[in-house]
Amino acid sequence: MPELERHDTIRAVAFDGDCLRLLDQRRLPFAETHLECRSADDVATAIRDLVVRGAPAIGIAAAWGVVLEARRLAVAGKPVSPETLEPVLQRLNTARPTAVNLAWALARMRGAIAHLSHDSVAVLTAEAQAIQDEDLAANRRMGELGAQLLGDGIGVLTHCNTGSLATAGFGTALGVIRAGFAAGKITQVYAGETRPWLQGARLTMWELVRDGIPAKLIADSAASHLLRSGAVQWVIVGADRIAANGDAANKIGTCQLAIVARHFGIKFMVVAPASTVDMATSDGTQIEIELRDPAELLGFGGQRTVVEGADAWNPVFDVTPAGLIDAVVTERGVIEHPNAVRMRAVFAAGSA
């Protein structure tokens, strides 16, 4: 098996013709179970409840949700048209607010709906499959481009989960790490635990261990100490939305990593597909940041850990200013020291 394929063995989103099978990320790493979605509402609930997460994977799942609705209408003998599908497009679009890939994928499906032929289900199925296939190809390209920026024998720190679980496969930031390890450039990976859902601890470590990549988990609060130690030369993260000036929204805690990395002279890379770039959003202050249930912070594993009567504030994303980013990597190329001019040179307005 080629070296890269040995480190790319996971597929979290699969459509089998009758249903969408999602690897239930809430139950990893101890149980590998799949949730079967047979309707668009099932998909919207799965997105909202974090069965499937990661900006590209959310968009892919939503596209298949549109296919499921078209199949339901066709079986019921109802017309499959822009009018009948628009309500489900809107329901899917509201499932998670921060990741631009969700709206992007649904816009692609809306475009296909506008040109439906007599075989509408086949047309929509082909479009959803194209979205998924293009994401996998983009991830492999980003892995190649990002790995070229790395030195030899380095350590890297990543945050949240940006691997096969968050995409069609291979991953964005984790794709760069996979490619860098396969090329012999990366010798050690560190993953932050990513409170409160522990995506780094539960998901990223599961992927790295499964694919034989040397990895160590750290507490989120240990990151500054790690970066000061000299063990890490690059921080490599993903993004859920990148604004026109290069500001990047990612899992909460990312911005503080960028600040510390800059202080200690460590490079900071953001890796995301072109579908994550939102040229209609001028800067990071315009990005809606999702607030989730405070209860996620007030307990652990179903057990309350904070005194009754306490409250919590639970934003799940933050925005890293472009000035703290050394490189944005997309399948269209590498943008070093991103700013509005450099972003515009690669992404024409409205290209997201």
Decide: 56 and 105 in contact? Cβ < 8 Å: no
What's the pLDDT tens digit per position in 129-146? 999 999 999 999 999 999
Please check the confidence at residue 1 and state whether its pLDDT lies above 50: no
Report which of 140, 55, 142 is spatially closest to residue 333, judged by C-alpha positions.
142
The model's pTM is 0.86
For residues 328-335, give the mean pLDDT.
Answer: 97
| Helix (H) or strand (E) run with residue 330 in it | strand 327-330
| 220 in active site | no
For the ranges 112-121, 227-236, 241-250, the lowest mean pLDDT is seen at 112-121
CB 220 within 8 A of CB 186: no
Please give the share of the chain, as a percent, with pLDDT higher than 90.
77
Cα angle value 195/220/320 (rounded, 5°):
85
CA trace torsion 50, 51, 53, 59 (10° rounding): -110
Domains and CATH numbers, the chain: 3-138 (1.20.120.420), 142-346 (3.40.50.10470)
What's the pLDDT score for residue 115? 81
Measured in whole angstroms, the distance separating CA 115 from the mean position of its chain's CA atoms is 29
Residues 230-244 have a mean pLDDT of: 96
Looking at 8, 240, 247, 278, which residue is catalytic?
240
Q: What is the pLDDT of residues 149-178, one digit of tens each?
A: 999 999 999 999 999 998 999 999 999 999
Q: Which two tokens stand for residue 244?
A: 């026109």
Tell me the angle at which helices 40-48 and 82-93 cross, rounded to the nearest 10 degrees: 20
pLDDT at position 97 over 60:
yes
The chain-wide mean pLDDT, for the chain, equals: 92
Supply the pLDDT for residue 96: 81
Residue 79 confidence class, pLDDT cut points 50, 70, 90 = confident
pLDDT at 200 over 70: yes
Whole-angstrom distance, CA of residue 192 vs CA of residue 175: 17
